[in-house]
A and B are shown apart, each in its own frame.
Chain A
Amino acid sequence: MSKARANPFSSIAVHVALLTYTLIALFPVFVILINSFKTRKAIFRDPLALPDADTFTLIGYQTVMKQGDFFQYFQNSMIVTVATLFFVLLFGAMAAFALAEYRFKGNMIMGLYLALGIMIPIRIGTVAILEMMVSSGLVNTLWALILVYTAQGLPLAVFILSEFMRQVSDDLKNAGRIDGLSEYTIFFRLVLPLVRPAMATVAVFNMIPIWNDLWFPLILAPAEETKTLTLGSQVFIGQFVTDWNAVLSALSMAILPVMILYVIFSRQLIRGITSGAVK
């Protein structure tokens, strides 16, 4: 080991640098959260102080609860995210299995065709998507969002899952075939359980962009009953710009669910990224 790698001074400098950046990363979130619990006066007098007995208030949250239907928005976001993940994982794994397992004419081309969507953003086709959703009557339904996000998530899901499915041992599958299992049983009973870690990675990768998307909810489902949490908070904050308590509380309430998801899944997410699944 070299001296450079064990030098205590450089290790202090390293921690100072990392701490500084961590503060920069967390500061805005911290400021929003603490001020959401403070009175309007305290928000302006001393923005960086923690709420104390004098300045503590929940008025912002009360306004949010009264004026915005945040439970409805949350429920919509939840339905869209969970349903999309289900379809992306099921359809993606099925297609990945077909591509990884069977040799057939056009396998290569099919793989390339599905991979196209990794690089081309689906937003480019928005005009035609909206037209299609309007003519099929799906506009302002959660199905419109679920379909779009499923199509958007499939390319990367197929790509990652087929890489993993190629590693599943052939002997296992052939043993199943000798025992007379159908191809469907082999897929659902033997292969799927083995690629669960890869499925979790795909799920985590898809979850956050879907939850946070503003573009498609704004265009395809802006009705009050189908607003997602992201769109709902955007509209709410736009209307209450001058009510700082309400704005800060709405922001905090939008931060909360993502933070909970992140705390639960951060290890999976970071492992997924660092294991090279996205290369």
Chain B
Amino acid sequence: MKRPRIKWHIVVFLAPAVLVYTAIMIFPLFNTLRLALYTEVDQVRHFVGLENFRTLFGNPHWSGQFWNALGNNMWFFFIHMIVQNPIGIALAAILSHPRLRFAALYRTAIFVPTILSFVIVGFAWKLILSPIWGITPDMLKAVGLHWLFAPYLGKEEYALTTLSLISVWQFVGIPMMLIYAALLAIPEEVLEAGEVDGITGFSAFWKIKLPLILPSIGIISILTFVANFNAFDLIYTTQGALAGPAFSTDILGTFMYRTFFGFQLQLGDPHMGSAIASGMFGIILIGVCIYLFGIQTRLRRYQF
């Protein structure tokens, strides 16, 4: 018997994963990019080149919505970066304190919001912040801050920031866990060497630990970026497909959903939807490339 040239077992091992992944993920991804170049007239599909993108960026009705969604998405991401990551790092730094009692209990409890669905989180906060149900005004009154209360989700100027903070509340567990793991990986000798030189407490954190966990902070940032730029569920649950009030909470995910699936009186347009999806793909790709080539390669990694 001669061994066959093709090792069939390798093919058999690889085939199911590669087929499913190619057919359901990669092929539709490129097909979506392709559909962005078509339009439909009288139920017949026509190739129109970059016409859809010209509409998206040139027609004031479309471009206004697109830039609004992109700007809101940037703000959404910005709030995550300046609130979620510092809180996550602070919690991880506290939790990694040696000989801290109940550390596992705190960790488990603080991670609870992360496992809940956007539907639960969205509605729960909507109820709690609701002016009809007096929880928030009553609690603010109890600490003498009653004047701070406003219908946060109903006002154009607060709604997006409020939703960003709700999302931060939900996902703070992820940076906390990843940073916690990175902090535990720092060998005791390094910290002891610092102590010998008189670096303890806060300065040990700033001067020794923080530089060592920078790669993890980089990973968290890119994960947050990708998650934020295809977010949809939280806004849809709390504000609906119209991302009210007055589109002030519209982000790329809701904009794409509305466009391709339609809502109320507007018919869905899969081709314009594809054009928006292509835009999102481009933005995510740019972000990932900036991270891979601009940030990750510059961060120094330490091997212990």
Contact = CB atoms under 8 A, between A and B. Distances in A.
A91 B17 contact: yes
B195 to A, nearest CB: 5
Contact of B201 (A4, A97, A219): A4
A132 B23 CA distance: 10
B210 interface: no
Contacts of A41: none
B260 to A, nearest CB: 5
Greatest chain A CB density within 10 A among B17, B100, B119, B222 is at B17
B270 A91 contact: no
A123 B185 CA distance: 34
Given A120-B29, A275-B181, A110 B111 contact: no
Interface stretch (A20-28, A54-62, A168-176, A193-201): A20-28
B116 A212 contact: yes
Interface string B145-158: 00000000000000
Interface in A246-267: 247-248, 251, 254-255, 258-259, 261-262, 266
Contact of A21 (B21, B26, B31, B110): B110
A154 B138 CA distance: 48
A150 B24 CA distance: 9
A120 B69 CA distance: 20
Nearest to B14: A98
A147 to B, nearest CB: 5
A18 B95 contact: yes
B35 A258 contact: no
A247 B116 contact: no
A22 B32 contact: no
Given A124-B32, A151-B20, A214 B25 contact: no
Interface size class of B (residues with CB under 8 A): 35 or more
Contacts of B120: 32, 233, 251, 254-255, 258
A172 to B, nearest CB: 18
A43 interface: yes
Contacts of A274: 177, 180-181, 184
Query: Which of B106, B107, B219 has the largest count of A CB atoms less than 10 A from its CB?
Result: B106
Interface string B216-233: 000100100010001011
The DSSP consensus for interface residues of chain A is: helix
B150 to A, nearest CB: 19
A52 B11 CA distance: 64
Interface residues of A, number: 95
Interface string B191-224: 0000100001100000000000000000100100
Interface of B: 7, 9-10, 12-14, 16-18, 20-21, 23-29, 31-32, 35, 87, 91, 94-95, 97-102, 106-113, 115-121, 123-125, 127-128, 133-135, 138, 169, 174, 177-178, 180-181, 184-185, 195, 200-201, 219, 222, 226, 230, 232-233, 236-237, 253, 256, 260-261, 270, 273-274, 277, 280-281, 284-285, 288
Given A2-B201, A28-B128, A237-B123, 18 more contacts: A15-B102, A18-B91, A87-B20, A90-B16, A95-B16, A95-B18, A98-B13, A123-B253, A126-B256, A127-B270, A127-B274, A128-B35, A212-B115, A212-B117, A214-B232, A247-B127, A251-B120, A255-B116
19 contacts: A3-B200, A5-B98, A11-B100, A14-B100, A18-B91, A18-B94, A18-B106, A26-B109, A91-B17, A94-B17, A99-B14, A119-B226, A122-B25, A124-B277, A125-B29, A128-B27, A128-B28, A128-B274, A214-B117
